[in-house]
Chain A
Amino acid sequence: MFSPKPESALIIVGHGSTVNSDSSGPTFEHAEEIVRRRLFGEVHGAFWKEEPSLRQVLHMVDREDVYVVPNFISEGYFTRTVIPRELELAGPVTHRAGRTLKYCEPVGSHPRMTELLLHRATQIAPGVPARETSLFIVGHGTDLNENSAVAAKREVAKIAALGIYAEVLNAYMEEEPLIAQWDEVAKSPNVIVVPFFVSDGLHSYEDIPVLLGIADASAGAASANHAEVFRRNPYQLRGRTLFYASAIGTDPLFADLILEQVAAFDAQHQPAALA
């Protein structure tokens, strides 16, 4: 149970997009969920590519005690370079202009991410026997100077160790093992695919469905009714039953992980160290 912090502000940082609202949507929705629970004095989203920007957001904040949680899948260029630079953070704790900024770990690094991925897999394929199912966790790949592939591999190892699914596999859009070859890699009759991204967008609406063979590249899946691709489960193709989930970051339980990253920060940084 998260103990309320009415004297503190929470800033959830997302990447955002100049092209569509899907990228910032989940960050705002998690913020709204936390507002509804009345756990912080104030909650704001902030973005690299949208408004409020990382440079603007502190002007919106009334309170002096401010937690910053990156809504990113992994540690990497954004969490280590861009966010600290734009918010002028000096480390995990920054004292500036009468404020204390507390920089938490990214949501994707939370140990309960494994639980969330499992929850999502069960949810989209109810009643499907896990022992006859191959579960794919799909990452972007390593081309973005991010550690998202490392994080995806960590989650696959953790889920596999639980021994629930017949097999748990990594796959990427742009590097081996390729998600396009899912039917060659997977051995089970049922296949579940969960994109390991913080938000839906072109990758989950169009790119991955095209690579899976459940959408037509020319149809412009990302334009109209883009979420339709998640509603047509299961797909029968290539001799398998395929279930395709939306990006893990759209799961409402992400809001809980954001709160837990705040709690984890407090546990790590005792009040004496903050003085």
Chain B
Amino acid sequence: MRDVTQALAAWLEDGGRQIGEIVIHPVGGGFALCHRDDVGREDLASTSRTEAARELANHDDAGKFRPLKTAPNLRHGWRLTVPDLAELRRALDYFYPAMLGVWCSHRRGELPPVPLRETLGRQSGMYRVTQKITDAAAQEMIGGFCRSEGGCLKHPLWEISPGQPIATLPAEKLQSPAARESWPLLCPEACNLLVAKAREVVKKSDRKE
């Protein structure tokens, strides 16, 4: 059996305190979580219901739905307390789905990156058309969609195709950082939102032709 919760415990013991935009404070035997921008604020709406994490993660400050949970637009103004490590893990799985487990897989060497061409190559139905995206258009799309500023906080570990790395994002964005104070958010494979974006790009260029 793997043990993601145990890995989380070890990281906390080593001083780990942040994941994405969230700061974790040990409180008694449990933990308190809030947005990193809200540290020190005393007017936060407090809750101790772990499921509230799912609701908090669903919408940004303007009330807009967040299909990409690692987008840097986590809402502000809340404080969530959880009683123990198991509930902390459950809350973090809502805020940053799979990110705890993905890093654990990476450390065990079980996170092979999947090139974008392979991801697009297996699409069917309405997404099959994404296979037509050119390398240049893919590079441009990734540079916009995956950038940390306003896009996504994950670190893409994949290439466009073997030997053809992403050229439109900074080098430090394309590798896994060390898990020190902040838990790394890794992306071993283009997400479905990027695949959907690729469909948009292809459709747009088809219309132009």
Contacts and interface: CB of A to CB of B under 8 A. Distances in A.
Nearest to B196: A18
Contacts of B93: 44, 52, 60
A51 B98 contact: yes
A142 interface: no
Contacts, number: 69
Contact of A81 (B5, B124, B191): B124
A28 B69 CA distance: 15
Interface in B125-154: 125
Interface stretch (A61-69, A102-110, A253-261): A61-69
Contacts of B201: none
B197 to A, nearest CB: 10
Interface stretch (B31-39, B99-107, B163-171, B173-181): B99-107
Most buried by B among A17, A48, A53: A53
A46 to B, nearest CB: 9
A62 B58 contact: no
A21 B65 contact: yes
B97 A56 contact: yes
A20 interface: yes
Contact of A85 (B54, B122, B191, B196): B122
Interface in B15-63: 51, 54, 58-59
Contacts of B202: none
Contacts of A59: 98, 101-102, 104-105, 111
Contact of A51 (B4, B97, B105): B97
B3 A52 contact: no
Interface string A33-63: 0010000000010001111110111011111
A60 B98 contact: yes
Interface residues of A, number: 31
Interface residues of B toward A: which range?
Answer: 20 to 34
A145 interface: yes
A17 B122 CA distance: 21
A205 to B, nearest CB: 14
Contacts of B70: 51
A139 B120 CA distance: 31
A228 B38 CA distance: 34
A18 B193 contact: yes
Contact of B98 (A56, A77, A85, A97): A56
Contacts of A16: 67
Contacts of A28: 54
B172 interface: no
A49 B110 contact: no
A19 interface: yes
B161 interface: no
Given A21-B58, A77-B125, A97-B110, A62 B67 contact: no
Given A59-B105, A60-B101, 7 more contacts: A21-B58, A35-B90, A51-B98, A52-B93, A52-B97, A57-B98, A85-B124
6 contacts: A17-B67, A18-B65, A48-B192, A51-B67, A60-B98, A60-B101
